Chain A
């Protein structure tokens, strides 16, 4: 075996292993290395996914992508789920389910939205009200708009029933811990 063709660290390792007498010859050492590599491949095959692909093998069909994303999510691997979703949507842009996966799991985007003096004042007023009245409303859901209390109740449903639709009306809806 021509050790000069090996990376320096590997050549050093071979030299050390032979010097220790662990292996009688370079051929024996290579045979052991091949055996270890084969064992490693067997271990990889043992963790193959149900659809036949391994973690390192990209899915081959839209359904395989969907299955692999679901598996990544279910096993607590959101990074892999995102990677698969984006790759799947890129490979199969007409596939509705993959498009939804990619849209939902894509990296977030952040955009500056101009605030108005009124919206800034509302946040400040809500903060001031809560700082002043926090203790009195422990255990309650409260509906607050620009520092004005609209309703308070232990029940969220009760608060919503009193103030009506809360979406898009600038009403702060929050539960104060008991």
Chain B
């Protein structure tokens, strides 16, 4: 890692190449998409610093076999990209995978949509929001090399 703080301590402990592409076929604005692990499943997730929580793709959530008893009781509604989505809040383990340096594991608040939301979910990957997910992660982007640097805050 070459990113350091003024006192010489590392700013980032890991780095990976990101994909810079629209998240769905309907979108034209490119997003930063990273390879991550959500509770043991390797997948892609897009960075959304204006978003809340780790939002898990409903199809992947089915593969996680989560117990509703581990969630905050009762499904809640999240206003998500202008649409009300039903889901539950869990504590899930997110890992940012490194191509250089080390991985970073984050215990995050995760919004897991109810299974019936999958049909209307479309092509969106899982989403790394800031509040509840990335808020304790130092990160930086080098657009020239399309590299995402990360480390613990």
User: Chain A residues in contact with chain B, CB under 8 A?
Assistant: 69-70, 73-74, 76, 78-79, 82, 97, 100-101, 103-115, 119-120, 123-124, 126-127, 130, 138-139, 156, 160, 166-168, 170-175, 177-178
B117 within 8 A of A: no
Known: A110-B136, A178-B25. 11 other contacts (CB 8 A): A101-B72, A104-B71, A110-B151, A112-B102, A113-B103, A114-B103, A115-B97, A171-B42, A172-B43, A173-B43, A175-B57
Complex Cα spacing A69 to B99, Å: 40
Question: Taking A115-B103, A174-B44 as contacts, is the C-beta distance between A105 and B109 under 8 angstroms?
Answer: yes
Chain A: minimal CB distance from B95 (Å) = 7
Q: Which residues of B contact A114 (CB under 8 A)?
A: 102-103
Chain A: minimal CB distance from B45 (Å) = 9
Complex Cα spacing A108 to B123, Å: 27
Say yes or no: A108 contacts B108, CB within 8 Å. yes
Complex Cα spacing A156 to B153, Å: 35
Complex Cα spacing A113 to B97, Å: 10
Of residues 94 to 136 in B, which have CB atoms within 8 Å of A's CB atoms?
95, 97-109, 123, 125, 131-136
Say yes or no: A111 contacts B152, CB within 8 Å. yes
Chain A: minimal CB distance from B91 (Å) = 5
Chain A: minimal CB distance from B69 (Å) = 9
Say yes or no: B101 contacts A115, CB within 8 Å. yes
Complex Cα spacing A130 to B63, Å: 23
Complex Cα spacing A68 to B105, Å: 31
6 nearest interchain CB pairs? A110-B152, A167-B40, A178-B25, A168-B40, A174-B44, A172-B42
Say yes or no: A156 contacts B59, CB within 8 Å. yes
Say yes or no: A108 contacts B72, CB within 8 Å. no
Say yes or no: B104 contacts A112, CB within 8 Å. yes
Chain B: minimal CB distance from A29 (Å) = 44
Question: Taking A78-B131, A123-B99 as contacts, is the C-beta distance between A108 and B107 under 8 angstroms?
Answer: yes
Say yes or no: B77 contacts A74, CB within 8 Å. yes
The residue from A82, A111, A130 contacting B19, defined by CB atoms under 8 A apart: A130
Say yes or no: A108 contacts B132, CB within 8 Å. yes
Chain A: minimal CB distance from B66 (Å) = 11
The interface centre, meaning the residue of B43, B57, B132 with most chain A CB atoms within 10 A of its CB, is: B132
Complex Cα spacing A177 to B28, Å: 12
Say yes or no: A112 contacts B123, CB within 8 Å. no
For B63-74 the 0/1 string (1 means CB < 8 A from A) is: 111000011111
